[in-house]
Every structure is written in C-alpha cells, then in structure tokens.
Structure 1
Amino acid sequence: MAPRANWKGYLRLSLVTCPVALFPATSESEKVSFNQINKRTGNRIKYQRVDAETGEDVDNEDIIKGYKVDADTYIEVTKDELDNIALESNHTIDIDQFVPRDEIDDLYVVRPYYLVPDGKVGHDAYAVIRDTVKATDKVALARVVLTNREHVIALEARDKGLVGLLLRYPYEVRQSGEYFDGIQDVKITKDMLDLAKHIVDQKSGHFEPDNFEDHYEAALIDLINQKRAGRPVAKAKVKTEGNVINLMDALRQSLKGQTATASEAARQPPPAKKAGKAKKRVEGQREMLFALEGKGQKASAKAETKREAGKRPARATTRQKRAG
C-alpha cells in the first residue's frame, strides 16, 4: 500500500509554482505495538469520551476546543473561528529565504519529510526550484501548516527530490545552560585523555545504518513468538555493573578488553560470501513474527498455534483468541 501524503498544496518560489505532496520520510509503523486488554476476560480496552463532571458520553459533534484559563474556566474556540484565521500556508509552501545548512542547529529539527511533485504537471517548475536550491548549496526556508499550526520548514536538495526538515520555533528549544551550568569543571590528565583516545581509535569506523540492530525489538518478537508457541519464557539474568574505583584503571581495563576483542576477531576466518545481493533496506523486524510471514508459513503457524492451544487450559485459549 502506497504511503499517504500528510499535506498537499503548492510549492512557490517567487512566481514559479508547482503542485506538491509532503510525505513523512520516517516511519515507526513497523515496530511491535501492543493493545491494552482486560486481564480477566482477554477483551480489548475501549476508551470513551465522557463529560468529566456528569460522566455522560459526549457525541463528536458536541466536542469543541477550549483554552484553559483557570481550574474551572475555558475559553471556547470553534472550528469556524479557527478557519477564519487560517493562513495562506494552509495550501502553499512559500519560500522566504535561503540560508546555509550548517547554521541550523540540530536542536531545531523536528522530523524530515519528502516533498515530491503531485501529479503529472509541474515537474519542470519543481526541477527549477530543486536545482536552484542545489546550485546555491543552501537550504530554502518556507512555511507550511500541519495539524492546524504553521511551521517553518527547511528544504534541501537530495537525489532527484527535495527533503523538508520541519523546524521548531525558538520558544520550543530549551537553553542548554539550564542543564549544563551545574556540571563541575574537572581537569583530565593527559594520560587519561591518551588512553581514552586509544579506545576511540579502536572503535572508530564509518556510519553504516544497515549495521544498526534494534535489540529490544528483536527481544519483543522473540517473546511474542515463544508465548504464541506455548513455550516457557526464561527470565533474563540481571546484569550488575561494578563500581569504578579508579578512573585510570577503568580506562586501562577498557583498552585491554578492546585489544583482546580485536585480536580474537583477527583470528576468525572471513565469513563466506552469500549468493545474491543483500537487501538495501530492511522493511522492518515485524516480518520475523511467524504470524506475519508468507501464506504457507502463516497456515503452518496457525496450525502450530492451534495444536499448542489444545494442550493448554480452555480459559487460556479463549483469552488468547479474544486478545488477538
């Protein structure tokens, strides 16, 4: 299923305009998520919109926005009133300025989006804006309305398209002094710094996102698969960290451990090459859940679950069926 655009409208640089669509560049939908269920019945929990004072259910058409003035007082604001103050950026991303990318502090970046031409027309105008941004070696600052609020967005050229970085306003960024001013000034000796640099040298490499592994997500998938198969779940051993008595000794031990690990790795034979090209992008670890694999594997998984369920008490089977 194709991703759904978060916003559609027009991108404009002076008199050059083209229709565009804005798509989120990242996704967390592949992560394992949970529903809340009733422990006694196995049924899913349902939340209702109720009046805090009367306890009665409230229909959607009777719900409006309110700004809290004090404990019991709200200023009501209707949808029509909000529409009346709607800005032009509701429908247009209007480029206001070009600035160097390195002047944008990463603390201001909220999330990235892909900005692409919407439909078959406007590709020429899109290319003009994209190539202009690329040629200047800067990012274009513009405004866009998402979820009823106007945001600043920085557009930068990437591959054949444009990436939009949604930015925070200054009042949303907390000043580091509130947190860092209490950190003590400590003098580090040259020997300590040299040892630490040796550790860094041995751990140095290149940024390879494909090497990242979400260990917690993998553990969740393993836990779910074990429980669906009716296997007992072993308790994890509690790890204890020893107290650091001497910082210099800790650095030496760290360096010694790194050297031993590197020597062991050097003695290992090189891994055999696998046939075929590796996947360029992992679609998500949820595919490792046996209930989400191919059709034949799905049927086998269901059959296995059914056989395992027959071995368990009837109440547990009912709970599992309802929870699913």
Structure 2
Amino acid sequence: MAPRANWKGFLRLSLVTCPVALYPATSDTEKVSFNQINRKTGHRIKYAKVDADTGEEVASEDIVKGYKVDTDTYIEVSKQELDDIALESTHTIEIDEFVPKTDIDSRYLIRPYYLVPDGKVGHDAFAVIRETIRSMNKVAIGRVVLTNREHIIALDPLGKGLMGTLLRYPYEVRSEQEYFGDIQDVKITKDMLDLARHIVEKKSGAFQPDRFEDHYESALIDLINKKRSGVDLTAKAAPKTGGNVINLMDALKRSLANEREAPPPAKTKAKKPRKAAAGQREMLLPISGKRAKEEPAAQEPKQEPKKAEKAVRGAARSKKAG
C-alpha cells in the first residue's frame, strides 16, 4: 500500500500554480521495535495522562496547551486562538527565491520529502516549475506549513518529480565555536599527510548505499531468532578498546600496510526492493505452546538468514500497523 501524503496543497511560482502532494521520502517502519511489558505478567505497559498534583487521570477533552512562564505558572492557549493565527501559506508552497545548492549548509537539512502532482490536472505547470529549477541548476526555496508550523523547504528536481528538504531556522543551529574552541592547533608534516592520503586512496570508491549493513539491526534479529527457538545465550566478552597511539607516523604506516594486504571490496549488484511479508505467521520460527502440542504440524524448513530477517521486519511492520 502506498504511503499517505503528509500534506496536500498547491505549488506556486509567481502566477504558475499546480496541485501537489508531499510524501515522506524515508521510513523507520522496517526497523525492529520493542514494546515495554510488565516483567511479572507479560502484559504491555500503557501510559495514562494524569494531573501532576492530584495524580488523577485527565480526559482528552480537558487537556489544553499551556506555555510555561514560571515553575507553577502557565499561559493557557486554546485551539481556537491557534487557529486564529494560522498562516495564509497553510495550503500553498510559495517559491520565494533560487539559490545554488552548494550554498546550503548541511547542518540546516532536516528530512527529505517527495513532491508530486496531485491528481490528473496541473502536470504541465508542475513540469514547467521542475524544468525551470533544473535548467538553472539551482534549488528553489519556499515555505510550507506542517502541523501548524511553517517550515522552510528546498525544492530540487529528482527524476520526474521534486525532492523537498525541510530546512532548520538559524536559531536552531548551534555555532561550532562553542565546541571547536578548545581544539589544539597542531603542525602536520607532509610525510604524515602523504601516508594518510594513500590510505584514503585505498579506501576510495563510489557511493553505494546498497552495501551499507545495519549490524545492530542484524544482531537484534539474530537475538530474537535465538530466543524464539530456545537457544541458550552466552554473554560476549567486552570488546578491547584501542590504546593510546604512541607514534602517529608508525600507526599510519601500519594502517597503509594493512590496507595493501586487504582484498578489494567485492562488487555487489543493486538489491531488489523487499516484498512485504505476509504477516506474523512468517516471523522466523513457530512458537511452541498448547496449540502446537494438540495439533502437530509438519516441520517447516529452516529459513535462510535473509529470509528470517525479512520475516522479522514484516512482523515489525504489522505490529506497528496494528
């Protein structure tokens, strides 16, 4: 099922307007997630909204927003008051300016979205705006309102659509001087730089995100596999941490020697998109229990690691959907 649009409205460049929809370009639903449960009963933990002083649970209709001005003082703001100051740009992405992409500091980037025409009309206007941005080799800067907040959005052509990246405001970005001020000024010799460059050259390659592996996610899936199948778990020894480098030049030389001895990384084909798992039944191993004893079933063949991983991810998705 295609994801739901986070926002629908209009994209406008001067007098050229077209209906558009904004979709999230990333997702965390593939990751294994956990619920908090009661160790004694095995039941899931739920949270209630309670009054901090009386301890009594508060109904949703009695909860309002408040801005804290003192320890026990809040300024109450109603939904009607918030609606009254709603911005005019709520349903329109207005393009204000065009800037070189290289001018955007990466610290200002928040998250990416896909912007597409909404419906069967306006595709020609959308194409005009998209190709205008592409031909100028720049990024369009506009404004969009999401969850009652106005955000700056950078629009960049991506194939037949537009990629919109939300940007932070200047007050949200901390100055690096707060952190870099105590870094010492040191003199690096040419020999050290040359050795370091050789190491970088040995490790250089094309950006291939398909080769990225989430080792922690794989370890989580392996842990769940073992616990479901009743395998006894043994504690791993703590990893050894590297000691202080006594001779930096010697360390660089050893690093370069290790890189020369290591085989080149194997070329990998692009992975095919994962198919959604059928559901909880396909989550790695069957759970043994009363039903399993009453109705002995034929043994299911062991799943390959990658298949088991897909099954766990499918179960995680179906849990979240529920």
TM-score (norm 1): 0.84
How do residues 159-308 of structure 1 correspond to structure 2 at under 5 angstroms? 159-243=159-243, 244-262=245-263, 279-282=271-274, 293=277, 298=282, 301-302=285-286, 305-306=288-289
Deviation of 1:306 (Å): 3.9
Question: Is the deviation greater in 146-155 or in 241-250?
Answer: 241-250
Structure 1 residues 295 and 57: alpha-carbon distance in aligned structure 2, compared to 1, 3 A threshold: closer
- Alignment partners' CA distance in 1, 2:72 and 2:261: 66
Change (3 A) 1:11 1:279: same
CA distance in 1, matches of 2:83, 2:278: 47
One-letter amino acid matched to 1:63: I
Code of the residue aligned with 1:142 in structure 2: it is: G
**Aligned residues between the structures:** 293
User: Separation in 2 of the partners of 1:300 and 1:253?
Assistant: 43
- Tell whether the 8 Å contact from 1:156 to 1:164 is kept in structure 2 after alignment: yes
Distance 1:67 1:139 in 2: 36
SS at match of 1:220: helix
In percent, how many aligned pairs have the same letter? 64
Contact 2:225-2:284 at 8 Å conserved across structures: no
Assess, with a 3 A threshold, how the Cα gap between structure 1 residues 173 and 194 changes in structure 2: closer, same or farther. Answer: same
Code of the aligned partner of 1:252: K
Question: CA shift at 1:234, angstroms?
Answer: 2.9
Name the aligned partner's letter for residue 255 of structure 1.
L
Give the corresponding residue for 1:67.
Answer: 67
Shift of 1:296: 11
Q: Say if 1:157 and 1:192 are closer, same or farther in 2 by CA, change over 3 A.
A: same
How far 1:16 sits from its partner (Å)?
1.2
Change (3 A) 1:251 1:307: farther
Contact 1:13-1:94 at 8 Å conserved across structures: yes
CA shift, 1:253, in A, is: 1.6
1:112 shift after superposition: 0.6
Unaligned 5+ segments in structure 1 are: 288-292, 311-323
Offset of residue 258 of structure 1: 1.4
Normalized per residue, the structure richer in helix is 1
* SS at 2:262 equivalent: helix
Partner of 1:317: none
The structural deviation recorded for 1:295 is 7.4
Q: Does 1:134 align with 2:138?
A: no
Q: CA deviation at 1:294?
A: 5.2
Query: What is the DSSP-based 3-state SS (H/G/I as helix, E as strand, rest coil) of the residue aligned with 2:285?
Result: helix
Q: Which amino acid aligns with 2:271?
A: K
CA distance in 2, matches of 1:164, 1:130: 12
Letter in 1 for 2:282: K
Q: Which amino acid aligns with 1:251?
A: L
Instruction: Identify if the C-alpha distance between structure 1 residues 125 and 242 changes in structure 2 by more than 3 Å, giving closer, same or farther.
Output: closer
Asked if 1:113 corresponds to 2:113, the answer is: yes
Contact 2:18 2:122 (8 Å CA) reproduced: yes
Distance (whole Å) between structure 2 residues aligned to residue 53 and residue 198 of structure 1: 64
Aligned-residue offset at 1:298: 2.6
Deviations 1:261-302 (A, max 9, x none): 13xx59xxx89x9xxx8534456xxx7xxxxx5579739832
| Partner AA of 1:132 in structure 2 | T
**TM-score normalised by length of structure 2:** 0.85
The separation in 1 between residues aligned to 2:285 and 2:44, in whole angstroms, is: 23
Q: Gaps spanning 5+ residues in structure 2: where?
A: 294-318
Whether 1:8 and 2:11 are equivalent positions in the alignment is no
Q: Is the 8 A contact 1:229 1:308 kept in 2?
A: no
Superposed, which structure 2 residues align to 1:71-90 within 5 Å? 71-90=71-90
Report the aligned-residue RMSD. Answer: 2.5
